[in-house]
Amino acid sequence: MRLKHLALSVLPAAAVVTAVACISDPVYPGNQLMGTFQFEARLDPAGTTCDASMPEFAQLDDAGVFRFEGTFSKNEDGGVGWFTVQGFNRDAKYEGQTVDSTLSATAPRASCGTDCKDSKIEETLKVTLFSDSQSRELNRDCLRFDGGTPDGSPPGPTENGYDVAMACGSLTDVFLPGPCTCTPSTCKTAYKVQGVRRD
């Protein structure tokens, strides 16, 4: 996964690799598994104030895109849920078809100096989930999503598993200096994301 931010800030990279290698059948929190998605995150220059070429940020390809994978799961009886990335379970709030997951962690930045250990990053993933029929209405393209609810049945459990096929929304990283002196003091990188269910 090209997202170098929170999953690898909270867990050392070696520990993440070891954990993934040791678990053949991952167990996700909650009692309702919604699915695993392959995401493309495309840099949104209009919403970005950081220099996205700096080494702390996600490694973008020539099209300004990086890719990552994540799994949605929740409890059937409420909005409590999770978004799991490389074995790390992030809290997520489920409301209707919207999922909102925010995580803060220590994230050293070169622009804060070598003595700074307390700079942070706050990352927010906010997406709308679409059923297979709704995804077809959007031609399986998030660019066609205008914020309204497309025709089709909403996502939900079925006898063949959870009916959710696509996720559209945004990923935002806010870099915070903490007690350190950083240049710039704070900045933001913003991405437009589209996720397609792979399982």
Domain locations along the chain = 6-197
Q: What is the DSSP string of 47-116?
A: G--S-TTSTTS----TTSEEEEEEEEEE-TTSSEEEEEETTEEEEEEEETTEEEEEEEEE---GGG-TT-
Q: 13 pLDDT band (50/70/90 cuts)?
A: very low
Q: What is the band of 52 on the pLDDT scale with cuts at 50, 70, 90?
A: low
The pLDDT, as a whole number, for residue 3 is 38
Cβ atoms of 94 and 81 within 8 Å: the answer is yes
Residue type, 32: Q
pLDDT tens per residue across span 54-113: 666 667 777 788 899 999 999 998 779 999 998 999 999 999 999 999 999 887 777 788
Q: Using the Cα atoms of residue 31, residue 10, residue 40 and residue 1 in order, give the sign of their dihedral.
A: negative
Q: Which residue has the higher pLDDT, 137 or 24?
A: 137
Gyration radius (Cα) of the chain, Å = 17
Amino acid 1: pLDDT: 32
**Cβ atoms 106, 119 nearer than 8 A:** yes
pLDDT in tens, 144-176: 999 999 999 999 999 988 999 999 999 999 988
Entry pTM: 0.84
Q: Is the pLDDT of residue 8 over 60?
A: no
Q: Is the pLDDT of residue 17 over 70?
A: no
Question: How does DSSP assign 159-198, residue by residue?
Answer: TTEEE--EEEEEEEEEEE-TTS--SSSSEEEEEEEEEEE-
